[in-house]
Structure 1
Amino acid sequence: MKLLRVAALLAPLALTLPISAHAAMDAKTKTTYMNECSAAATQNNPGMDAKAVQAHCECGAQQINKNFSDKEIASLNDKTTPPSTEMTSRLQKAVGENCLKGKK
């Protein structure tokens, strides 16, 4: 009977582990990403307003957090070594599928 009580207490914790273990950009990395993304989006889409740029870049940041591990995020942020073609393709695909709806 005690085992059931312990299991009942631990079940919610077990459910949160995958969420807490998920990768996420730290504040500095996200700020850098947002600045670089905003500059690129503005340069590549001169008619895009600031609100749309912000939304697009925020969506991109969410896709990075959702689809990449901490190690991969660090690799994407590495200024000395460009990310692999595979990672670049994954990022472009995630952003294309989730952040460009209605903008194509």
Structure 2
Amino acid sequence: MKLLRAVALLTPLALALPMSAHAAMDAKTQNTYMNECASAAGQSNPAMDAKAVQAHCECGARQINKSFTDKEIASLNDTSTPPSAELTSRLQKTVAEHCLQGQK
């Protein structure tokens, strides 16, 4: 059951990334990411409170900056070509491992 909730939360997040992530993750890009992440998280898990959504999205932004190269982030951001299944899977796994701990 926990895995299904994690997948439900991460799937819209992964789909939102092509519109939000930029190689630099500057303040504007991060703000856009945070807004899209919060919207996706709220839709995927309505029971999640605002504080938990904020923490999850901040964690996701940190993990993107930490775990992905500028080229990979640019690929996630490319609106004309979807990211590879491997890259999307790695993103979901990274966020799940680092950002979903303690959520039920």
- TM-score norm. by structure 2 comes to 0.72
Indicate yes or no: 2:78 matched with 1:72: no
- Equivalenced residue count is 82
Query: Which of the pair has more CA radius of gyration?
Result: 1
Give the fraction of aligned pairs with identical amino acids, expressed as a percent.
77
Q: What one-letter code is carried by the residue in structure 2 that aligns with 1:55?
A: A
**Quick one: distance in 1 between partners of 2:26 and 2:77?**
11
- TM-score norm. by structure 1 comes to 0.72
**Quick one: distance in 1 between partners of 2:24 and 2:58?**
13
Q: Where do residues 22-33 of structure 1 align in structure 2 (5 Å cutoff)?
A: 25-33=25-33
**Quick one: distance in 2 between partners of 1:25 and 1:49?**
25
Q: Where do residues 25-64 of structure 1 align in structure 2 (5 Å cutoff)?
A: 25-64=25-64
**Quick one: distance in 1 between partners of 2:61 and 2:82?**
18
5+ residue gaps, structure 1: 1-22
**Quick one: distance in 1 between partners of 2:88 and 2:40?**
15
Q: Could you say what secondary structure the match of 1:80 adopts?
A: coil
Partner of 2:86: 86
Contact 1:29/1:77, CA 8 A, preserved across alignment:
no
How many angstroms does 1:92 deviate by? 0.7
How many angstroms does 1:57 deviate by? 0.4
**Quick one: distance in 2 between partners of 1:75 and 1:31?**
19
5+ residue gaps, structure 2: 1-22
Q: RMSD of the TM alignment (CA)?
A: 1.5
Give 4+ residue runs of structure 1 displaced > 2 Å after superposition: none
Contact 1:25/1:70, CA 8 A, preserved across alignment:
no
